Amino acid sequence: MPTISAAPGLLALGWDDGWATALAALCDPTLVPARVSRVDRGRCTAMTGIAELRIAAERGVELAVGDWLGVGPGPATGGGVRIAAVLPRRRVLRREVGAMGAAPPQIVAANVDTVLLCDALDGSLSPRHLERFLALVWQSGATPVVLVTKSDAVPAAVVADAVDAVKAVADGVSVLVVSSTTGEGMDDVAPYLAPGRTVALLGLSGAGKSTLANLLAGAEILATGAVRKDGSGRHTTSHRELVQLPGGGLLIDTPGMRALSVVGAGDGVERVFHDVEVLAQSCKYTNCSHAGEQGCALAAALSDGRLERGRLESWLRLRAEPASSQLEVARRDVAKRKQRKAAKIAGRRAART
């Protein structure tokens, strides 16, 4: 198999007995494991523990950064390496890319243990944005951790207020204050970067993900850019890449994401809004629409201050997204069937003339 450069051992890449069992189930002794570190158009880079391979991706095979593959020798006439199988994914971070579920979900990263959600103190990540990010992470099966970044850019009082705002919508989630400039909070991040563990960075553009990745890697592995005057960041990361950190952990940086749909993340939404879900169980009627009708426990919670209106509205909106998407897809399917039927009728009429 072609070799590009030396790579860390399999254990350092996260290989374990479970992955070995999955590979053995393929019953092909010629296959070796490899982990995808980058996906480009038509090709991917994969690490075997002793080498990095550039492999052509077969049509119809969906690959994601973080995937484990079973790879083997290519055809005798063509040589090279072929992908025999993508091993079953354990945790998958997905997001919708089409309007209202029009396109299949995009895999952001696979087999991730922890997702570090970056919330820049000089940025524009609102509680409503954070709720969506958290829903997607919980749905993936990974553990979310919120990093309040760029703590050196604002006064301590602003940092404290930001942490309180995050904790208000991230119940049960660790919240760490960090600065890539001063190094504040890096010791708190270190336990999530244990050897063989995979961490993904997620957040809006300008949240400091690439700067943080460079600090953790001890090298300029990713380009960085300034934040615009309106608080939005420049998209300095245009692809996803799995890199090994000096301490042994594995890191995936991701492009900044602003438009996030929670279609397909119903369980994640319930996890993020556990407090609201518990309150809703006390509504007088099981079919309560939570629009202020008599007997609504959420209306009562709004009145006495136990629930904030923005959080209630966000919960209602995110709960409705999957249903709206399914309705839109059904409408498009009906329209397509009508178009096909009309085309058939027009074709038969043309044939008779």
CB-CB contact of 130 with 124 (8 Å): no
CB-CB contact of 252 with 212 (8 Å): no
DSSP string, 102-150: -SPPEEEEES-SEEEEEEETTS---HHHHHHHHHHHHHHTPEEEEEEE-
The pLDDT tens digits for 79-127 are 688 899 999 999 999 876 654 445 567 889 999 999 999 988 876 668 8
The correct answer on CATH 1.10.40.50 for the domain covering 273-334 is yes
Residues of the chain with CATH 2.40.50.140: 11-86
Q: Return the closest-CA partner of residue 23 out of 60, 59, 71, 56.
A: 71
Q: Return the closest-CA partner of residue 255 out of 212, 220, 295, 205.
A: 205
At residue 352 the predicted structure's pLDDT band, cuts being 50, 70 and 90, is low
Instruction: Return the bridge partners of 40, or none.
Output: 43
The correct answer on CATH 3.40.1390.10 for the domain covering 92-253 is no
Q: Return the closest-CA partner of residue 241 out of 8, 53, 38.
A: 38
At residue 228 the predicted structure's pLDDT band, cuts being 50, 70 and 90, is very low
Q: At what angle do helices 127-140 and 156-169 cross, to 10 degrees?
A: 50
Residue 224 has pLDDT above 60, yes or no: no
Residues of the chain with CATH 1.10.40.50: 273-334
The pLDDT tens digits for 11-58 are 999 999 999 999 999 999 999 999 999 998 878 999 998 889 999 887
Q: For the domain 11-86, what is the CATH code?
A: 2.40.50.140
The pLDDT tens digits for 118-174 are 988 876 668 888 998 999 999 999 999 999 999 998 899 999 999 999 999 998 999
Tokens 């020798």, residue located: 73
At residue 78 the predicted structure's pLDDT band, cuts being 50, 70 and 90, is low
Residues of the chain with CATH 3.40.50.300: 92-253
Structure tokens given for 222: 């990713």
For the CA atoms of 81, 87, 92, 95, the dihedral, rounded to the nearest 10 degrees, stands at 50
List all residues 6 or more positions away from 334 whose beta carbon is below 8 Å from its beta carbon.
none
Residues of the chain with pLDDT > 70, as a percent, come to 76
